[in-house]
Structure formats: structure tokens, C-alpha cells
Amino acid sequence: MNWISNYVRPTINSIFKRSDVPDNLWTKCPECGTMLFHRELSENQQVCSNCDHHMNITPRDRFAALFDGGIFTEVKVKDPISDPLQFRDQKKYPDRMRAAQKATGEKEAMLVAEGEIGRTSIVAAAQDFSFMAGSMGMYVGNAFIAGVERAIAKKCPFVMFSAAGGARMQEGILSLMQMPRTTVAIEMLREANLPYVVVLTHPTTGGVTASYAMLGDVQIAEPNALICFAGPRVIEQTIREKLPEGFQRAEYLLDHGMLDRVTDRRKMKDELVTILRMLGGLPPAVAGELPPPAGLDTEFVEEAPVSKTPATAAPKGAVADSQKSAKPVAAAAAKK
């Protein structure tokens, strides 16, 4: 009977044993209900492949998709005083901070980094809504100012990805003070003649909307992002009226002149490269593979294959003809 108890019975039990499947392999789209495989969702930058709904994305994942090769360097941020008001609601403020840090793996609600997009140097900052709703406190204010100062030092544009529930109530008036502080920092950028581009993501509300999130030279938003000071539910309860369909969403703000663009997250990098190079007076970005950087010895660099797309392929001899035609025009201009 030993062979039955030692071999047959364990084999039968293993056949009918329920295997444990990790809970995080699939994500349900909150908009259309489609079950999305985690790897596919990550490759699609947390955008639903069925309905194009934009889910929340961490700053590190956003920067990995934004910067060339996913390479960026974090900008150091000065640490503020921790829990200056010794605030306590249902939990102590330090306990809430530790819980958020453990859940997200981040130090605070904003990450600042520098790198290149399309061979254009930028400094970028992004808020993490999963960290205490991306709320603006003293650290966020310090991070924003550190990013601006780094952009001024490098003489490059500053790009802000906002996502916040407003000012952090646990820091009281000290969190509200970040509104004028960040506004002054933006004025420093303007005095240095450097572009400040804001990308508003879902949701951007409260004191963040009332300060640095709406002061960009160019205002871009992700599709269907909620952008407001007071939310629609609060407004409806105050005025006792039903608000229009899509009120305070990105497309509504675009139609009413509050935004310049509404851009899909997957196309955001190309959009930013085009805008930043235009604002910087640089030539348009090269489509496809970029040429080697200036100063690189190209004698031993293998040439990239020529594009076969008719729209982008120049006719044979077109460059030579254009150079010939340019000479008479230049001569005529010199006579005048």
C-alpha cells in the first residue's frame, strides 16, 4: 500500500490542486471594463488598448517613456522640516508619510529629472498621484523650485507633469505658501527666456491648478483629464444645478480656450520635441533614427538605411537643383 500512499495519492492531489495566480497580472480598465494583461498595459504606457482610457502612471514610468533611451538623472531636492505642525487626524502625519513611501517606493509626491528628448536637453518634474493624492506640500514646492533652478543653470526648457488633489492639508498654511513660491520660480524662468510647458494629467485640482499648473507658456493635457479648482460635485451642491456634459474635462477646456492641445500620452514625446524645438528656435526634429551627434567621427559609423516612404524620400538630384536655384536668388538679393 506504500506505493499508493506515497505516489498515486500525491499525484492525484497535484492534478486537482488549484494553482495560485498573482493578483497583479491583469488590470481592469475602469472606463470600458476590458481586462488588460500587465505587460501589454505597461508597454502601452498605462493606456487602455480598447478604449484609449489613460490610467495613472508613476513618474518613473513616465520618464522612462519620455527621455531618450529611458535615461535620466534625478535632480537633488532639499528636504524640508518634517511635520512642522505635528498634525494628526485619524493618523499622525509621519505615519501617513511612511505608509505612502512604503506603498509607492518614492520619497515624496514629486520627482524631478534631467535628460534629453529628441536630442533636446530638458528638465522635467512629475507628480505621483498615488503618493497622498500628489498633494502639494513643502517638499513639492522645493522640488519644483529645484527643477526650475536646474533648468536655468542648464539654459534649457522646464516641463511639468501635474497630477494632484491640491495642497496638503497636513501642512496647513505652509503648503499654501508653495503657491506664491512656485509662481515666483516661473517668473524666474521667464526672465531667463526659457520655455515652461505644462502637461496636465488626470486629475489636476485645487491649489496646484491655482498656481503652477495653469501658468505654462504652452498648456497641454491628456485626454479626458479632470482639470479644475473645485470639483464638479462640490459645484453642483453649491449652485444646485446640473453641470454640462464633460464639464472641467480636458476637451471642454480646450473648446473654451483654456488649453492649447489635448495629446495622447503615447504621442506626448513627439509633441513635446516639436514644441520645444520650435520655442527654442531649433530646426524641426528628424523623423525616425537620429543622425550621430555633432563631433562624432562618422567615418566608422554605419549609415542607417534610407527610408522608402515616398512622402519623405527626396527626388534624386533635388538637393543639387535647389542649390543651383539658390545662387541666382542670392545674387539678385545682393544687387538690391
| Binned average pLDDT, 10 residues per bin, the chain of 336 residues | 62 62 79 92 94 96 95 96 91 95 96 95 97 97 98 98 95 96 98 97 96 97 96 91 92 96 96 94 70 48 42 43 44 46
- Find cell 511612511 and name the residue: 98
Contact assessment for residue 258 and residue 285, using Cβ atoms and an 8 Å cutoff: no
**Residue 51 to residue 71: CA distance in whole angstroms:** 30
- Find cell 543639387 and name the residue: 320
Q: Could you tell me which of 183, 185, 178 has the C-alpha nearest to residue 135?
A: 178
Which amino acid is residue 17, in one-letter code?
Answer: K
The full DSSP string for 190-201 is: HHTT--EEEEEE
Domain ranges of the chain: 24-55, 56-279
Binding site residues, as ranges?
Answer: 29, 32, 48, 51
226: helix, coil or strand? Answer: strand
Q: For residue 308, what are the contacts with CB-CB under 8 A and spacing of at least 6? A: none
Multiple choice CATH, 56-279, 3.90.226.10, 3.40.50.620, 3.40.47.10, 3.90.1170.40: 3.90.226.10
Contact assessment for residue 63 and residue 113, using Cβ atoms and an 8 Å cutoff: yes
Q: What's the predicted TM-score (pTM) here?
A: 0.78
Binding site residues for Zn(2+), as ranges?
Answer: 29, 32, 48, 51
